[in-house]
Amino acid sequence: MNVKIYTDGSARGNPDGPGGYGVVIHYVDPKGALHTREYSGGYKKTTNNRMELMAAIIGLEALNQPCNVELYSDSQYVIKAFNEHWIDGWIQKDWKRGKNEPVKNVDLWKRLLAAKKPHEVTFIWVKGHNGHPQNERCDQLATKAADGDSLMVDEGLMS
């Protein structure tokens, strides 16, 4: 099955306030009907990079069978890690980078690798807030989650 996943994270400019992530999944079922699934959530005291990773993870984990996935993100952090083979280098260097600096968010990178494993995934950078409708849709979802009082919280990120 072919699936398109659009993700976005929003730090909302306040490190002590809520941040949000949004995920929109589009797929066509075997009968040819188009379906959309949406997920949004937020958590406090984290960075935009963690939210971008979380959005990609949630999207891939939501798929209940192996799929051909196009994952769209406006995060160079997520896209470059896979398109420029950062991940392979980090694994070979025991999750160190550059001048032997530790890689940040290793827990989430490992979770993303596990979520990606059963699928054929192409990571596509949807550059910035340039009016791209798919990027804007995800940004609206993330902003809604970040601004809400009732947020879905991923327990794994509470540490």
User: Which residues are part of the catalytic machinery?
Assistant: 8-9, 52, 74, 129, 139
Residues 6 or more apart from 158 whose CB is under 8 A from it?
43
Residue in 105, 144, 135 with CA at minimum distance from that of residue 5? 135
2-10: strand order across its sheet: 34-44, 18-28, 2-10, 68-73, 120-125
SS3 86: helix
Alpha-carbon gap, residue 119 to 60, rounded angstroms: 8
Q: Show the tokens assigned to 29.
A: 């079922």
